[in-house]
Each structure stands twice: as C-alpha cells, then as structure tokens.
C-alpha cells in the first residue's frame, strides 16, 4: 500500500486531535500542521476516497476502521522511534520527536520490528 507521507501525517494528526478534543474538523488539522485550509481539504478528499475517513455534513471527520488502524500504526512508530532516539543518542525530547517524524515514514517494517524488539530487551 503506497500511502504517501503527508497522508500518514494527516491520519496521525486526526488520531491525536481526536484523543485531545473529541471532534476534528479540517480547520483543526490545518492549525495543527500549519497547512492551508485548501490543501487540507484536498487531502481529506483523497483520504475519504481511499476509505480512511468519513465526513459528516457538519464537516466533522471520523477515522474509519481502516483509517484508525493505519493511524495507530503510524502513531506507535512515532512514539517508539522518539523513545529509541532519546535513549540511544541522548538527544533532547524535541529533537528526538522531530527526527522520529521524518523517520517514521521511510523506515522499513523489518527495521521497525527490530527496533521494537531491541527496546523490549532494554526494558
């Protein structure tokens, strides 16, 4: 499944906003990511076509089961990579978070599983 990086970012952001505030609209996503409303609307259209989200007539965005699953997977990678980078490289939380953001979209499943196993052994 060739989900593009920005699509993954959007799904992860929807998940996080939903946990924080319950309801999510395009404007919330635009603010959170500092993107323009038109580009967020375009992306929401694509995510809806691909079956990751549904939008009600009031503009409220909900993750579908497929979207929820994908978003949780991305968010897990994000959290684990942030923790990994902090522990292994000793960088501060902000830098670890920033680098994890870049890595989470390009790292292979196999490498991620290896890091996950490594972190389990370290506990």
CB 58 within 8 A of CB 10: no
Q: Which residues pair with 63 in a beta bridge?
A: 53
DSSP track, 20-39: HHS---HHHHHHHHT--HHH
pLDDT for 73-110, tens place per residue? 999 999 999 999 999 999 999 999 999 988 888 889 99
Q: Which pLDDT tens digit goes with each residue over 1-52?
A: 345 668 889 999 999 999 999 999 999 999 999 999 999 999 999 999 999 9
- Tell me the CA distances in angstroms from 91 to 42, 77, 79, 94, one per residue in order: 36, 18, 15, 8
What local confidence, expressed as pLDDT, does residue 123 receive?
A: 83
The answer to whether the CB of 28 falls within 8 A of the CB of 17 is yes
Nearest to 12 by CA among 53, 51, 41: 53
Domains in the chain with CATH codes: 5-66 (1.10.10.10), 70-122 (1.10.60)
Q: pLDDT at position 101, please?
A: 86
Distance CA 109, CA 123 (A): 21
pLDDT at 4: 61
């Amino acid at each position: 499944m060739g989900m593009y990086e920005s699509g993954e970012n959007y799904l992860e952001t929807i998940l996080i906003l939903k946990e924080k505030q319950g309801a999510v609209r395009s404007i919330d996503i635009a603010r959170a990511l500092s993107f323009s409303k038109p580009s967020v609307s375009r992306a929401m259209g694509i995510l809806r076509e691909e079956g990751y989200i549904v939008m009600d007539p009031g503009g409220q965005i909900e993750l579908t089961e497929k979207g929820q699953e994908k978003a949780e997977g991305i968010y897990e990678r994000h959290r684990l990579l942030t923790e990994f980078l902090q522990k292994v490289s000793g960088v501060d939380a902000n830098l670890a978070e920033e680098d994890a953001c870049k890595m989470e979209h390009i790292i292979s499943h196999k490498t991620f599983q290896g890091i996950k196993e490594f972190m389990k052994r370290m506990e």
